[in-house]
Chain A
Amino acid sequence: MQLIKDKQITQDNWVYIVDETPLKADYIIVSLVRWRQERNQLSKIKHLGLRLEPDVELEEIANDLSHFQLIELYFPVFTDGRAFTHARLLRSRYGFTGDIRASGDFMRDQVFYLNRVGVTSFELNDQENAQQVIQSMHDFSVDYQESVA
C-alpha cells in the first residue's frame, strides 16, 4: 500500500491489526473496540495507533489520546463527512499532535479539504497516482475559512 505523509510518498510502517488476531508488528493500529477491551496490555506498546470509524464520539476517547502516535480516520464510504469534523477537532480541540491518517474509500478530490482540517497522511489505493494526489492538495492556493492546517 502506498502512503503519502506530509506531502511525500513514503513507506508505510504501520499495520492495522484485525481484532482478535495476534499483535505481530512494530507499528500497530488497533480498533476502538480492541483498545477498550485490551487497554492495559495495549498501552505498553511503543508505537500504537488507533483506527476510528465515523460513528465515534470523540469526547469519549479524548483522555486516551496520549497513548497514540497515530489516529487513523477510516472512510467506509467517501460520502461520510464526519471524519472531516473529527480531524479538525482532534487538532484544534483535543490537541492531538501525532499523525492523522485517512484511509478507506476517500478520494483524491477530497484531499484538499482533508489536508486543511489536519489530516497529515493518506493511504492510497494501488490504482491512484500518488504524485497527482499530492498535487490535489494544492488545488486551491486561497481559502476563506479558519482551519487547522
Chain B
Amino acid sequence: MYQYNDKDQTLINERVVQFRDQTERFLKGEIPDDKYRALRLMNGVYVQTHAPLLRVAGPYGLLSSKQVRKLASIARDYDKGFCHFTTRQNIQFNWPALERVPDILEELASVQMHAIQTSGNCLRNTTSDQLAGVAIDELEDPRPYCEIIRQWTIFHPEFAYLPRKFKIAVSGAKLDRAATQFHDIGLHLVQNEHGEVGFKVFVGGGLGRTPVIGQVIKPFLEKKHLLSYLEAILRIYNLYGRRDNKYKARIKILVREAGLAKIRKKIDAEWALIKHKLELSPERIKEIQEQFRPPNYQLDAVQDTSYADKLANNADFATWVKHNTAEHKIDGYRAAYISLKAPDSPPGDCTESQLDTIADLADQYSFGMVRVTHRQNLVLADIKQADLFDLWQKLDAINCATPNIGKATDMICCPGLDYCSLANAGSIGVAKEINETLDSMDYVHDLGDLKINISGCMNGCAHQSVGHIGILGVDKKGVEWYQVTLGGSSENDAAIGERLGPAVSKQDIAPVIKILLEVYLEQRIDEDEPFLATVRRVGIGPFKEKTYATN
C-alpha cells in the first residue's frame, strides 16, 4: 500500500493548519457564508439536518488497519460511535461539531488520511475496484495509476474551481466493479493489438439527476500520456463546461451538447500541445507500482485440508463462503467480504467496536489491509483458506457475516431523511422494510444476484438509476412517494433503469418490491437466469402489469 513520503505528509499537515485557520476566520465572522461554504466543501464538510457531515477520503478504497482504528477512535471521540461507508469508497461522519473538524483532520493526518476534495466543484477522490491486485480477471493492478492520479488531483492549481464536481474511476479487470462508465472519466486498463497495456478512456458518464453512460473518447491511451490526457480533458471542461446552471454543469452535458466528435477534437488539439511536457516516465510508474507489491503470500496455503472439511461439514459456513468470498489469483487464498448490510442496521454503517475488530482481523488474517467497496461493504482481500472458518466466526460475532453480498438485501442506500437536508424520503427506513419483507435467507439466495439501490432524492447518491431495481424517493405535495426503475446496471453492460410506471406510496413500496420479485421467479427460465437477464428478456411489461393490477 502506498506510504506517504515527507512531501505527502507535509502537504496534509499544512492543510490542517490552513483549514483550521479558515474555520476560525469563519467562526469569527471574517469569511462570508458563501465563500466558507466553498472552502468547507472542498474539505468534505456539508452542513446537514443535524450537524455538519464530514467526508473523509478513502483513496481508491484502500485502508490500513491503523487507519481503520483511527476511524474507530474518531467515531468514538467526535461522533456518535459509528461512521458510514459511501459508494465512492469514502467514509462519512454524521455528527461532528464544526469547531472540532480541524482536530479531526489533525487526527487523520497522523495516519496519512485527509478530507481534501471529497466534496465541492473540484477533482474528487479517484475510485477503483475493491478486488484490485487480487482479482482473477485482472489485466493489471489499477491502484498505482489511481495513486498517480490522486497526487495529480490534490490542489491542482488550475482545476480547483471547476464548473462542477469531477470524478474519475479506474478498473484493471475484465468485469468493471468500479462503475467506471458512470464517472466523468472512466479508465479501463486494456491491451492493444501489440500486447501493450494502456487505457481505454470513457468520458461524460455520471449519475445524479441526468444519468448518462460514458462514451469512449480514446480506445487506447499509452500509459505515458495518462496525465497529459487527463489535463487536456480537464482544461477543455474548465473552459467550456456550463457555469450558468448547476444542473447542466457536469461534463456529461458538455459532451451531450457539443457532441462527442467535437469534444474529442477539442481535447485532442489541446492534448497535442501539452503531451510532450507531462509524460509519465516508466521509472515513475515503476516507483509507484513498487508500493503496491503483492504481500508475502504463503505458497503452500493451498495444501490445507481443513477448509474442505469445514465446507463439507458446516452448511452455514459454506453458504457464507459461497456468497461472501471471491476467488483470488493465488491458489489457497480468497477475498472475503465484510457485509455492512445486516438486516437490522443501516446499509453501509459501521460502529466503532466493529471497526476496531475489523482492524484486528485485518492484522491477523489479511496483511493489515481493508478495502471499501462501491456497494458500501468492506473486503479483506488476502485470506488463506485455512483461516476462512475462524474469520467467518469472528465476523459473525460482530454482525458482519450476513451472507448477502450481491443479493437482494445488499442494498445501496443513501442517508435520506435521517441525515440529509435534501431528502424527500427516508431511504434507510425503506431498506429496513424491504429487509423485513425478505426475511428468509433461503428466499434471498433463491433470488440470486440482485442489486437494489435506494436514493432519497433526485441527486441519486445511491445510484438508483443503475440498480437492477432502483428506488427513488420523490415528494408529492409533502408526501413521500417512490419511483421504481428496472434493468439498470453499472457494470460492463451499463444501462439506465427503465421506469416501471407511476410512483407508489410509502406503504406500498415494500409490497411492490415483493411483487416484482415474485414476477421474476415466475418468469425466469431457470435458477441460472438472474433478475437482470430476465428483465432484459421479457421487458418491464409483466412486472408492470402485476404491480399496478394489485395496487
Contact = CB atoms under 8 A, between A and B. Distances in A.
Interface of A: 78-82, 84-85, 88, 93, 107, 109-110, 112-114, 116-117, 139-147
B161 A110 contact: yes
A54 to B, nearest CB: 8
A78 B38 contact: yes
A84 B160 contact: yes
Contacts of B35: 78, 107, 109
B254 interface: no
17 contacts: A79-B161, A80-B243, A81-B158, A81-B162, A81-B238, A85-B158, A85-B239, A107-B31, A109-B35, A112-B157, A114-B157, A141-B10, A143-B11, A143-B157, A145-B152, A145-B155, A146-B277
How big is chain B's contact interface, by range?
20 to 34
Interface of B: 7, 10-11, 14-15, 17-18, 22, 31, 35, 38-39, 121, 151-152, 154-163, 235, 238-239, 243, 273, 277-278
Given A81-B162, A81-B238, A113 B243 contact: no
A119 to B, nearest CB: 10
Contacts of A110: 160-161
B117 to A, nearest CB: 12
A146 B157 CA distance: 9
Nearest to B42: A109
Contacts of A140: 11, 14-15, 18, 155
A84 B238 contact: yes
B160 A81 contact: yes
B160 A113 contact: yes
A28 to B, nearest CB: 28
A81 to B, nearest CB: 3
Contact of A85 (B15, B238, B243, B277): B238
B525 to A, nearest CB: 53
A104 B97 CA distance: 33
A107 B31 CA distance: 9
Given A93-B273, A110-B161, A144-B151, A85 B14 contact: no
Contact of A141 (B14, B38, B154): B14
A116 B157 CA distance: 6
Nearest to A117: B157
A81 B14 contact: no
A128 B160 CA distance: 22
